[in-house]
């Protein structure tokens, strides 16, 4: 950078679409993509970029609840209400940024439905703005282009279009802030295809920045599958961890197992809520991360964990996986005891674990067995649990 002070740069994420083309029950930006909503992945890509100062999202207020759930915990400012068209939505977003204290030097306008945007492309668009008022991510057209003779349909080939110099425009589309605000105000009411077209109309130079094919827009269910595959193939460091735990019976009238309160003629002794199932699973995930054990993260000598809900321990292990950019692929818990009967609670236990981990219930298994009245569990002195977890981390 030629200047000492880095420019402020806000990413304006446009999530106002209703996704009619997708045909799902909710707009595509709120659908799950490899364990996280599409919008959250997009927002995180910009939030984690060192040259991006902040993120603001433009939404259809009808979907405010889905938005809040998707970006929970990210500390974003209030979303901006979108307009009737994408162009209106972007203008609303720009006006909100202009009205805020300290408008940014630069703005990156990005589609919420392009979750696979990479840090290098974001950086290249920002860097290009040092020398030009606009710069967009784009990929050169590689396929030969044909013009069909049919009216809208395919028909016979009427001609071959020279692809020399042709690019497919993506986002982010970056601009010096005051220039794009003026351009959008001047273009209000017109119907232009993207923000670069708005800038071009205002006479601003817009540079093409080579981007990646993976930065495609998730428009159809097939795109969601393609995006899932792309993410999963980047998470190729597959690891399995195991965990084991035992708690002794004591006086009481219920036990806590896999996050559920199960009536019984004894309780379980322990510093926390003595949930053997969640303790074993927490250790399995920590084991897969090679990140110590539950005792090293939550020492039993610490009074903070007296009577604690073990969901907190499991959530912590899941957060460590997320911090590493990974996902939990599967969890399998086996409860070992004569009594209480676990069978009637298995489905609810799996659901509770899936909820704590933030993964689909189809990725969680809870099983139960006895030891044929042998050993300490056979003598009904306590409950044991073992667990296996598989995680996928970025390679």
Binding-site residue ranges for a divalent metal cation: 245, 247, 279
**Per-residue binder mask for Mg ion (CB under 5 A), 239-278, x = binder:** ------x---------------------------------
Burial class for 32, CB neighbours closer than 10 Å (0-12, 13-18, 19+): middle
Instruction: For Mg ion, give the closer residue by CB, 127 or 293.
Output: 293
Instruction: For Mg ion, give the closer residue by CB, 194 or 283.
Output: 283
Quote the least distance from Cβ 286 to Mg ion, whole Å: 13
Point out the annotated binding site: 245-247, 271-272, 279, 293-295, 369-372, 376, 379
Q: What is the CA angle 125-129-132, rounded to 5? A: 125
Record the tokens describing residue 163, joined without a space.
Answer: 């692809």
Q: Which of 267, 271, 272, 273 is nearest to 248 (CA)?
A: 267
What is the C-alpha separation between 198 and 379, in angstroms, rounded?
77
Q: Where are the alpha helices (DSSP H) in the chain?
A: 38-47, 64-70, 86-99, 119-128, 177-187, 195-201, 221-234, 276-289, 294-297, 311-323, 346-357, 375-378
Quote the least distance from Cβ 247 to Mg ion, whole Å: 6
Q: Are 179 and 105 within 8 A, CB to CB?
A: no
Instruction: For Mg ion, give the closer residue by CB, 38 or 331.
Output: 331
Quote the least distance from Cβ 282 to Mg ion, whole Å: 9
Instruction: For Mg ion, give the closer residue by CB, 195 or 245.
Output: 245
What is the C-alpha separation between 257 and 367, in angstroms, rounded?
12
Quote the least distance from Cβ 137 to Mg ion, whole Å: 50
CB-based closest residue to Mg ion: 279
Q: Which of 78, 83, 76, 84 is nearest to 99 (CA)?
A: 78
Asked if the peptide bond before residue 27 counts as cis, ω within 30 degrees of 0, the response is no
Q: What is the CA angle 320-322-327, rounded to 5? A: 115
Q: Are 64 and 85 within 8 A, CB to CB?
A: no
Q: Is 345 in the site for Mg ion (CB under 5 A)?
A: no
Return the residues of window 279-318 that contact Mg ion according to CB under 5 A: 279
Instruction: For Mg ion, give the closer residue by CB, 34 or 385.
Output: 385
Quote the least distance from Cβ 245 to Mg ion, whole Å: 4
Count of residues in contact with Mg ion, rule CB under 5 A: 2
Record the tokens describing residue 111, joined without a space.
Answer: 């589609």
Instruction: For Mg ion, give the closer residue by CB, 279 or 352.
Output: 279
Instruction: For Mg ion, give the closer residue by CB, 36 or 279.
Output: 279
Q: Which of 82, 87, 84, 83 is nearest to 192 (CA)?
A: 87
Q: What are phi and psi of 194, to 5 degrees?
A: -155, 180
What is the C-alpha separation between 8 and 6, in angstroms, rounded?
7
Quote the least distance from Cβ 266 to Mg ion, whole Å: 16
Quote the least distance from Cβ 270 to Mg ion, whole Å: 6
* Chain contacts with Mg ion (rule: CB under 5 A): 245, 279
């Amino acid at each position: 950078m030629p200047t000492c002070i880095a420019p402020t740069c806000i990413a304006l994420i446009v999530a106002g679409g209703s996704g009619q083309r997708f045909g799902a029950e909710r707009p595509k930006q709120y659908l799950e993509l490899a364990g996280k909503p599409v919008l959250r992945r997009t927002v995180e890509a910009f939030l984690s970029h060192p040259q991006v100062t902040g993120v603001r999202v433009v939404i259809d207020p009808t979907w405010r609840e889905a938005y809040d759930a998707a970006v929970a915990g990210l500390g974003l400012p209030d979303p901006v209400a979108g307009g009737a068209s994408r162009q209106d939505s972007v203008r609303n977003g720009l006006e909100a940024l202009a009205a805020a204290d300290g408008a940014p030097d630069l703005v990156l306008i990005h589609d919420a439905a392009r979750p696979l945007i990479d840090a290098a492309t974001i950086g290249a668009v920002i860097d290009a703005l040092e020398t030009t008022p606009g710069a967009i991510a784009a990929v050169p057209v590689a396929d030969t282009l044909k013009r069909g003779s049919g009216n809208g349909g395919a028909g016979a080939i009427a001609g071959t279009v020279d692809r020399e110099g042709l690019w497919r425009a993506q986002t982010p589309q970056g601009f010096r802030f005051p220039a794009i605000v003026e351009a959008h105000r001047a273009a209000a009411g017109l119907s232009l295809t993207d923000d670069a077209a708005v800038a071009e109309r205002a006479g601003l130079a817009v540079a093409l920045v080579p981007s990646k094919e993976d930065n495609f827009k998730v428009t159809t269910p097939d795109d969601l599958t393609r995006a899932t595959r792309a993410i999963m193939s980047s998470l190729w460091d597959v690891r399995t961890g195991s965990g084991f735990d035992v708690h002794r019976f004591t006086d009481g009238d219920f036990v806590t197992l896999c996050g559920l309160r199960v009536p019984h003629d004894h309780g379980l002794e322990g510093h926390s809520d003595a949930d053997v199932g969640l303790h074993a699973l927490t250790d399995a995930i920590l084991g897969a991360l090679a990140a110590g054990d539950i005792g090293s993260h939550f020492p039993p000598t610490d009074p903070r964990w007296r009577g604690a809900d073990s969901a907190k321990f499991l959530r912590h292990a899941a957060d460590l996986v997320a911090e590493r950019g990974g996902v939990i692929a599967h969890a399998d818990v086996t409860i070992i005891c004569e009594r209480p009967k676990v069978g009637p609670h298995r489905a609810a236990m799996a659901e509770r674990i899936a909820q704590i981990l933030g993964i689909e219930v189809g990725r969680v298994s809870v099983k139960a067995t006895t030891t044929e009245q042998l050993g300490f569990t056979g003598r009904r002195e306590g409950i044991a649990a073992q667990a296996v977890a598989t995680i996928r981390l970025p390679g």
